[in-house]
Amino acid sequence: MLESKFKFVFLLVVLACAAMPIIAIMRGTISTPYEAPMPGASADVEPTPENAPGEEPIADEMVTIPAGPFVRGTESGGFDEGPQRTIHLDAFSIDRYEVTNHHYQQFISATGHRKPGLPARYAKSGGRVRGTNQPVVYVSWDDAMEYCRWKGKRLPTEAEWEKAMRGGDGRLWPWGTKEQASGANWARVQDGYEVSAPVGSFQSDTSPYGVMDGAGNAIEWVDDWYDETYYKRSPEQNPPSPEYGTYRVLRGGGYTTTGGDVRITSRSKMMPDFRDETIGFRCAISKAGMREEEKKNPDEVTENQSGRGSKTRPK
């Protein structure tokens, strides 16, 4: 009799455990850090970066990178960073700043695209990366591509990203040829920011063209499939992405970056559907598309190559 009761109780426990995942699926996943209500927020008003008081959204501004050669890669880095070669690119424009929470929220509101984020149980600091002018993170490669397409732009190629951040003289950091520990928002020094900073906060992290936050703040998706040996055989003019691959390329450092990965030439890779609190992006546009963009939004594209002192109106 006792044995039968034990078997019955054991069966109930097994059934309860088996039902838990089904119940969780029926209830839905846990809210992401971007969707969870903030303390004191009204239940019918979802907090967004645009609700943050006292912070003016930074302009959605682009910088024109002139046609011409630049030094791509290095012999002083990892195996996939070489060989060092001179590559020629046609003119293009690229976002001066990483795409911010404010501008990404406009995309979500206009299209109904999914919000950035992962279930809260996976997020370490989701609530601290939601500032109006902080770079949007927790976005996949496809999310980034769809945003750029909505803006009439595209993701930059890996070569375009490197030229925009490095200039044409072969430097390994945006500011020059010597490493500077406090030059960007990294995990290497106490810089006053626990996570990502508002875009453009580190003046030293400015490329010769005036493009900002290439070395730090958020790691960035680019268009290319990752190929470890692609530099050895890629075209010397306007190299496109490899035709296929398993991983997409990530470029630049983030606020958790340490060690040798701070070089502008450093290459990273990740599955395109991966989302993380350190990964964001920016957009680019080709020369032909630049003319159309200038007609539609003449205040968003700047020809100032130094990037200092140029003014645009916020979108």
- Please write the tens of the pLDDT for every residue from 66-103: 999 999 999 988 999 999 999 999 999 999 999 999 99
The pLDDT of residue 57 is above 90:
yes
Bridge-based pairing state of the strands 62-65 and 92-95 = antiparallel
Q: What are phi and psi of 179, to 5 degrees?
A: -65, 145
- 152 inside domain: yes
Locus of tokens 């930059």? 156
As a whole-number percent, the residues of the chain with pLDDT over 70 amount to 70
Q: Is residue 38 situated within a structural domain?
A: no
The fraction of the chain above a pLDDT of 90, given in percent, is: 61
Q: Is residue 12 part of a domain?
A: no
284 belongs to a structural domain: yes
> Which structural domain range is residue 255 located in?
49-302
Question: Which residue type is seen at 274?
Answer: F
pLDDT at 113: 97
**Amino acid letter, 75:** E
Q: Is the pLDDT of residue 281 over 60?
A: yes
Task: Give the pLDDT confidence score for residue 201 in this predicted structure.
Answer: 96
96 assigned to some structural domain: yes
CA distance 73 to 147: 28
pLDDT at 25: 31
Q: Is the pLDDT of residue 52 over 60?
A: no
Q: Structural domain tally of the chain? A: 1
Q: Per the domain annotation, does 307 fall within a domain?
A: no
120 touches 32 (CB < 8 A): yes
pLDDT digit string (tens) for 219-273?
999 999 999 999 999 999 999 999 999 999 999 999 998 866 678 999 999 999 9
pLDDT of residue 95: 98
* CATH code of the domain containing 179: 3.90.1580.10
Q: Which helix (H) or strand (E) holds 293?
A: helix 287-296
User: 156-184 pLDDT, tens per residue?
Assistant: 999 999 999 999 999 999 999 888 888 99
- Assigned token pair, 121: 């149980």
In this prediction the pTM is 0.77
Position 187 in a domain: yes
The answer to whether residue 203 sits within a structural domain is yes
